[in-house]
Amino acid sequence: MRVLMVEDAEDLAEGVVAHLVRSGVVCDLAASLEEAEDFRAVQRYDALILDINLPDGSGLSLLRRMRAAADRTPVLMLTALTSVDDRVEALDQGADDYLGKPFDQRELEARLRALVRREADRKEGQIELGALCYAPNDRSATLDGRPLDLTRREAALLDMLIRHQGQYLSKARLYDSLYGFDSTDVGVNAIELYIARLRKKFAGSGVGIATQRGVGYRIAVDG
């Protein structure tokens, strides 16, 4: 397992890295968002340990960029901000887990193993939802055994919906996953167009996308 830790508290970070190394985990250490991006540009990681308050900004901004680029690398937020609102915000932005400081090193390692194992399971197998079969590794899908013709953005939207099946995802969250946070030429209402296209492709299959006004969209088997 190879992990990137983004943390500017030197003593804490070096202690975590030392423990992880003794457990057989390769761990790179970045003290800022800029350093983290440099590491990520040349190395793929099985997971990230990400602080929120960093010298050059919020760790949540890195998390948002990753998710907007469809990067599903598991992210464990490790921070002194432990209020319910802080946890909810991080999880809503795409964090996979959240551990407050101070923490027990054994719990940190156990949570990392669980995140990496979960991601491996997700990549390995296909996700079935009624007549729909979705392969996360290449974002391909079949419906009633026939290949489903999807554009890149339709596939990205389906990926978000099916990985969170059972949950309503807001229009804004879906928009960010398709266009990124710096897009200005496409409005958030473009999501309605892609939802309509997916619904048309699912017509008659028993798979549908439900809308809850003011909340968002959810994919599910009809009935």
CATH number at residue 167: 1.10.10.10
| 18 and 109 share one domain | yes
102 and 139 housed in the same domain: no
And the tokens for 44? Answer: 């793929």
Q: For the chain, first and last CA: distance in Å?
A: 42
Do residues 34 and 108 share a domain? yes
How many folded domains does the chain comprise? 2
Quickly count: other Cβ atoms within 10 Å of residue 180's Cβ: 14
Q: What are the start-end ranges of the H helices in the chain?
A: 10-22, 33-42, 59-68, 84-92, 105-124, 152-163, 171-179, 190-202
Q: Is the dihedral of CA 19, 21, 25, 27 positive or negative?
A: positive
- The one-digit pLDDT tens for each residue of the chain (223 residues) are 889 999 999 999 999 999 998 888 889 999 999 999 999 998 889 999 999 999 999 999 999 999 888 788 999 998 887 788 888 888 888 899 999 888 899 999 999 999 988 877 666 668 889 999 998 877 888 998 888 999 888 998 999 899 888 889 998 888 877 765 444 456 778 899 999 999 999 999 999 999 998 899 999 998 5
* Containing structural domain, residue 116: 2-123
Domain boundary, last residue among 106, 123, 140: 123
One domain, residues 115 and 70 = yes
Q: Provide the 10 A C-beta neighbour count for residue 143.
A: 19
Centre a 10 Å sphere on the Cβ of residue 145 and count the other Cβ atoms it contains: 7
Q: Are strands 146-147 and 140-143 parallel, antiparallel or unpaired?
A: antiparallel
Same domain, 32 and 70: yes
Note whether 97 and 115 are within 8 A (CB).
yes
